[in-house]
Structure 1
């Protein structure tokens, strides 16, 4: 049982290197194409999980690795009785502790996201958040939205580049961005450029038009009754085309 837990834990934790690679690529992406505006720096890092079950699984894996042939039934490699019996007691203690922890756990499974934690560090003008585990209170509501959007754009770009690097020369991606109205007009232009530099094109919806000339196209959506279909349909009118972009 200990060996099975150890092997499955190793499979779970083996993904850490891939996660660190993605985080490093996101950090490099920001350094290569910096955001000119209030956000001077964004960094991410992977830290060990604070999940108690994950920590216990790590201990069990280490115990299994250190005593692979020195617990359980007698075999050619664990003929020393005292050491084997001591390790058997430890194995039982580990399994009992694991059973107790699982019984009180809020979820039915341990997922990859439980095996690590992300921390963020954002420098906004002269405000340095230090390493924090939540992207809250970076600044105003608008700044929070801006930082989250930038991180999502960089994450999209990392996966886009990885998936298309050897297949498409000029792959472009469109995506929706919510809460655009919370951004300062200067930051609207900034986030659009930040995305466009990565060949990601943002589609925003708002009851009001904010800095329409920052966009290539501005559309107006309205509802009308289609008598033939006998239902409401959405009508799209292009009202601005910016040929300078």
Structure 2
């Protein structure tokens, strides 16, 4: 029967698509769990060693993505797990009536996914769409509450300070992971904007980094905090060069 043969091929194909989406989404969620572990390590790292008096708390948390494409992919993954042995063609575990219902639901989910991708402005899924990270900063007596972006946390200097501290803690988490494979090592980093900070915050930030075995290199127009650095280089611009 030609119709039955075509139906069998069609069912096998969309069952394969469901299985692919389910497996790929599961892999994606595992990566999300890894990101959550990194965030917990950053939060713990701040509480253990903070030497910047202006910033009394930095905290991050990971929430479920609000992206509708991700939501449909999760539904597909759950559907695939619940019906893994029944997708596609009839077998010992299914009756034709049950199979038809399962197949119809599978097609609906794929249509939902197609619709959500069509609504997307870019038509594609970015890494930033898969996670939703919130920040909470307490500085100089001010509490931002949970916010999505590190903009206008305080003054321009506070913004620079908080971002520098987050970068240092993120690097430290990965440095500690590498140190378990190799022996402990120093990490040298270049930070361009911290020369704009008040000398007190520069001193605290340098210690914040040094306690994590991270050495900061930066340029500064200021000359009143030279003793905070291990090494100082003075550069002059010579006319004609």
TM over 0.5: yes
Count of aligned positions: 225
1:177 aligns with 2:157: no
Tell me the equivalent position of 1:35: 51
1:105 Cα deviation after fit? 3.0
Contact 2:25 2:73 in 1 (8 A): yes
Tell me if the contact between 2:52 and 2:201 (Cα under 8 Å) persists in the aligned partners: no
Misfit runs of 4+, over 6 Å: none
Change (3 A) 1:47 1:210: farther
Once residues 111 and 104 of structure 1 are traced to their aligned partners in structure 2, the CA distance between those partners, rounded to angstroms, is 15
Alignment of 1:63-78 (within 5 A): 63-78=79-94
Give me the whole-angstrom Cα distance separating, in 1, the residues matched to 2:202 and 2:129: 34
Of 21, 33, 41, 1:25 maps to 41
Per-residue CA deviation, residues 140-163 of structure 1 (Å, 9 max, x unaligned), is 111111111001000001111110
1:106-145 aligned within 5 A: 106-107=121-122, 109-145=124-160
Of structures 1 and 2, the one scoring higher in RCO (CA 8 A, sep 6+) is 2
SS at match of 2:133: strand
1:134-183 Cα deviation digits (max 9, x unpaired): 111211111111111001000001111110234224x1111111212331
Q: Deviations over 1:102-140 (max 9, x none)?
A: 234344653544321111111113211111111112111
Q: Secondary structure at the match of 2:235?
A: strand
Alpha carbons 1:27, 1:44 under 8 Å: kept: yes
* Matched position secondary structure for 2:153: coil
Name 1:215's counterpart in structure 2.
Answer: 229
Is 1:53 paired with 2:69? yes
Following TM superposition, by how much is the alpha carbon of 1:65 offset from its aligned partner in structure 2, in angstroms? 1.3
Structure number with higher helix proportion: 2
Q: What TM-score, normalized by structure 2, do the two folds share?
A: 0.85
Provide structure 1 residue ranges, at least 5 long, that are not aligned to the other structure: 227-231, 233-245
Name whichever structure is richer in strand by fraction.
1
Q: Which runs of 5+ in 2 are unaligned?
A: 1-16
Cα separation, 2, equivalents of 1:108 and 1:206: 44
Contact 1:181 1:210 in 2 (8 A): no
Counterparts of 1:114 and 1:76, CA distance in 2 = 40
What RMSD over aligned residues (CA atoms) do the two structures have, in Å?
2.1
TM-score normalised by length of structure 1: 0.84
Where in structure 2 are the equivalents of 1:153-172 lying within 5 Å?
Answer: 153-169=168-184, 171-172=185-186
Shift of 1:225: 9.0
Residues 190, 216 of structure 2: 8 Å contact kept? yes
